[in-house]
Chains A and B, each alone.
Chain A
Amino acid sequence: MKRSTHDTDSTAASHEEGRSTWGAPLRAWTETGLQWAMLASLVVFILWPIVAVLRVGLIADGAPTLELIHAALTDSRGLLWNSVFVGVAATALTLFIAVNVALWATRSGSRLSKPLFGLLLLTMISPPFVTALSYVMLFGRRGLITHQLLGLSLNPYGWHGVVLMQGIGFTSLAAILLIGVLRGIDGRLEEASLDLGASRTSTIARVTLPLLVPGIAATSLITFVESLADFGTPIIIGGRFTVLATQAYLNFIGISNLPLAAGMAILLLVPSLIAFLLYRHFMGRLTFYTKGTGTTGEPMGLPRWLLVVTGTVTLLFSAFVTLQYVTIVFGAFATTWGVDFTPTLKHIQGLSSTAFASIGRSIRFAMFTAVVGSMLGMIVSYLLERRRFWGRSGLDFIATLPFMIPGPFLGIGYALAFRDAPLALTGTLAIVLLNMIYRQLPVATKAGAAVLSQADPEIEDAARDLGASEHRVITDVVFPQLKPAFLVGFVNTFTAGMVTIGAIIFLITPGTKVATIELFGAVRGGHIGVAAVLANIIMLVTLAVNVTFSWLMLRRGREERGVFDVPATRAIDQVIQSADGGR
């Protein structure tokens, strides 16, 4: 036994001699190659499409012009103002609800916190048009509640509906992020405050909420940008009220006024960028406070009055979203919504084979892009966090861009950028998949970066020290540690792949039709029953895959409850932090 191990050692030693000559240059070469390949792929699939849109929107007849921007800006409907107004109002509403829900979920000590968290996770999966559709089904002039129950005939179309539905629609994600931040706050800080004689109320006001500020700022920004980019809700329930995103979409899709659409898309970037810069300016020095090691104490209970307030808001919110989703479920089984509520299976049975093909395609595409996109994100995050090389901050910046670029912008960009040789991808499956991958890259990358920035780089040195090649360092040590980040990237990209429509609607062809497009068609054609069936299938499939995948990845891991919290929250913070040009 002893002898044979010695043999092994000497063999290894003789290998060492050989490798020491060739290993280092070869390794350096491969790495440089990888860095350049990553940089090139990000330039081609993120930067180039953006440039393509800017070119159309800012250059007319070969000369730079602001004419289109001006046309978009001076539109009599005040599009920019409407967008900003809805963005601010929806963000305020989202934050109000989300802070209440998050406080209640983490500090009430109620047993209902767990089901609440489940509800939030479920409602994060929101197929397009579904909230708007359920709004009309419930509160429209012939809505189930307003008309059937209350006998009212209200006109629900206008900015109120848009703000309300966006505000509620974005709350689930915001609340989950804030819950993550609240859970990360060291309970001893609150204990210290109580110990120093502060009441619970003033502890909440002076300790808890200030610690929550970075989380609030980050979620505000996400909500604001999402609201700016949302064209589906205004188009369905905006009535005469319209916003930039909607008009950009309609100008492209409806009127085929491509330059004006590009001009509007560019204009849409302005408030988004301002929001990012403001965030960077005011939040630059703040960091997320995460738990130290050791005992962190029990979270403090809420003062009675706050328990009542947060409990009420949480109850109303939960009731509302539950009602919304129940409506969609019932909608799938009602013969004709609003007229004949007799239960039926006809919408399900009537689902065509093409609809099933589209659902299958959605699952395959989303699965593929989630795996590939998350891997890519992990590789990029590894390069960013562990390597110093020329172009690194550029890589970081470009990898973050899709996060602040509205979906339609990137969709139009792909359509424009990849129509000519040598990258003529028009009408191919590749263009759809590439768009899905690169659009969601920031979250995977930043989740990976968040994990790696917290992981001890000496662990990788230790593996090298013990004889692991760079390749083995990555497979044996880096990747296992990145598992939670990979999971965040997978869940995010998969979910997005299942529910988004904003960008790929500009790229799909009959052969690449996915479920959301079927859903869009059903909504457009007024087939509420079919739309509801599709929405349910999309939600169920997304939920099932996410849960199964998480279970598979975590079942043997040491990660416990809350595995998403820190990576997800920090990922988003990092996305924002590095938004204007890398760290």
Chain B
Amino acid sequence: MKRLSLLLSLLLALSLVVGGCANEPEAAPVPEPEPAPVEESTDEEVLNVDPALVGTTLNVFAAYGGKEEIFAQFEEDTGIKIEFLDMSSGEVLARMQAEAGSPIGDIWFGGGVDSFIAADNDDMLERYVSPFAGNVPAEYKDADGAWTGISLVVVSVVFNTEVAEENGAAIPETWEDLTKPEYAGELLMPDPSISGTAYTTLSGLLQTFGEEEGWELFARLDANMPYYAQRGGEPPTAANMGEIMAGIAPGIATGAAEGYPVVTVFPKDGTPWWPAPVAIMKGAPNLEAAKVFVDWCLTKHGQEVLAEHDPRPPVRDDVPMPQVLIDTGFPEADLMTIDFVEIGRIRSDVIDRWQEDFASKK
């Protein structure tokens, strides 16, 4: 409440120093840095935080791995506290729509880009172009700053080798492989009408293989699925537990590190992906602190923190790929070319057809 008069100083305080970054087109003019708690950082970028923001609390809806560690680091760097709620992006979207404009929080962190696009269409996101967004390629962000990609979510098949061994099945390499009879009843995918992962996979197949061939391939995949899961997180969990042999998952098989007999498969004939965004909710009570958070995510340091705690491909090419991704063979994966605006546009048609042909299986 006492932040009322600080609007102007915030603009100054949110200053940043960009140095040695030649490809930075939007380098902002550099005001006098404030004597604020300055994070320990690489020498290229410095994120200055208005001391008035120290101690404020951001409400964050998050769908991201390692968020506790990530947020702890953010707090340490900026002095801004975070309360977060673990929620899939579809749920956040539903909540925002149900509340019809009353802000439910400050920050929406990670999840399916389709939900962010839908939320922006309903004018529920604050437009903010971060001074650091210039480091993010255009296809990973909204041009008007409604949302900005912070990492890539890569769809993989989490594959349980123990179950495979028992059933005498080989590790699949492609979507085509997964249609083989040896995976009958062993492939699990979420309901595309609920899960962004599943919808991106389905529409990615259609864009990659062509509409008719895509549906035909999907029909053969469908033949191997016992049912459609009702939560995005269910297939990898089921694959970990050996309830299923292969589960389609956002990200790699993190269960391997916990000891589950699973490996990550990136289908060679096209790996679906999408940029995981960060956005500020319209009417966010802590707008200025929220901007600091977005900025932080896009700094080199922030990107490194994100990559360290959730092994995803970063959006900045000056941040190294997490080693575990390299180990799982991600660099060899052939990412699909996906037009996100287009798949957003045709979503209801695709879902309708899917409902018609496959949904009864649920």
Contacts and interface: CB of A to CB of B under 8 A. Distances in A.
Interface string B251-275: 0000100111100000000000000
A136 B258 CA distance: 18
A340 B227 CA distance: 28
Nearest to B228: A240
A253 B85 contact: no
Contacts of A255: 90, 94, 193-194
Contact of A510 (B85, B91, B228): B85
A235 B230 contact: yes
B281 to A, nearest CB: 10
A297 interface: no
Given A235-B231, A426-B104, A510-B85, A252 B258 contact: no
A254 interface: yes
Interface string A141-182: 110000100000101010000000000000000000000000
A533 interface: no
19 contacts: A76-B359, A76-B360, A141-B243, A153-B166, A242-B230, A242-B362, A255-B90, A256-B93, A336-B258, A338-B242, A419-B98, A427-B59, A506-B95, A506-B98, A511-B57, A524-B233, A525-B233, A526-B236, A528-B241
B259 A510 contact: no
A420 B102 CA distance: 8
A337 B83 CA distance: 30
B260 A336 contact: yes
A171 B103 CA distance: 42
B85 A246 contact: no
Contacts of A412: 98
Nearest 4 CB-CB pairings of A with B: A526-B237, A240-B227, A256-B94, A142-B242
A254 B226 CA distance: 21
Given A136-B241, A157-B226, A258-B94, A427 B102 contact: yes
A250 B91 CA distance: 9
Contact of B240 (A424, A426, A526): A526
B226 A419 contact: no
A358 to B, nearest CB: 10
B85 A513 contact: yes
A525 B241 contact: no
A521 B237 CA distance: 12
B255 A526 contact: yes
B259 A254 contact: no
Contact of A427 (B57, B88, B99, B362): B99
Contact of B243 (A136, A242, A510): A136
Interface centre among A235, A253, A336, A419, by most chain B C-beta atoms within 10 angstroms, is A253
A252 B362 CA distance: 18
B104 A427 contact: yes
Contacts of A513: 83-85
B362 A140 contact: no
B241 A140 contact: yes
Interface string A240-262: 10100010001011111010000
Contacts of B73: none
Interface in B86-108: 86, 88, 90-91, 93-95, 97-105
Interface string B113-155: 0000000000000000000000000000000000000000000
A335 interface: yes
A334 to B, nearest CB: 11
B115 to A, nearest CB: 9
Nearest to A153: B166
A254 B90 contact: yes
A256 B98 CA distance: 8
Interface centre among B90, B166, B185, by most chain A C-beta atoms within 10 angstroms, is B90
A412 B91 CA distance: 13
A77 B258 CA distance: 37
B361 interface: yes
Q: How extensive is the interface on chain A, given as a class?
A: 35 or more
Nearest to B85: A510
A162 to B, nearest CB: 13
B215 interface: no
Contacts of B261: 339
A333 to B, nearest CB: 15
A419 B230 contact: no
A366 interface: no
A508 B85 contact: yes
Contacts of B276: none
Given A253-B91, A517-B85, A521-B86, A240 B231 contact: no
A157 B268 CA distance: 31
A64 interface: no
Given A239-B227, A252-B94, A253-B91, A339 B83 contact: no
B17 to A, nearest CB: 31
Given A255-B94, A510-B60, A525-B86, 11 more contacts: A140-B241, A141-B163, A142-B242, A155-B226, A157-B227, A254-B193, A258-B98, A340-B259, A426-B99, A427-B99, A510-B105
Interface in A386-429: 412, 415-416, 419-420, 424, 426-427
A242 B99 CA distance: 27
A253 B241 contact: no
Interface string B194-230: 1100000000000000000000000000000011101
Interface centre among A256, A335, A525, by most chain B C-beta atoms within 10 angstroms, is A256
Contacts of B244: 141
A509 interface: yes
A143 to B, nearest CB: 9
Contacts of B59: 427, 509-511
A419 B100 contact: yes
B167 to A, nearest CB: 9
Contacts of B176: none
B61 interface: yes
Contacts of A242: 230, 362
A72 to B, nearest CB: 14
Contacts of B231: 235, 524
Contacts of A506: 95, 98
B76 interface: no
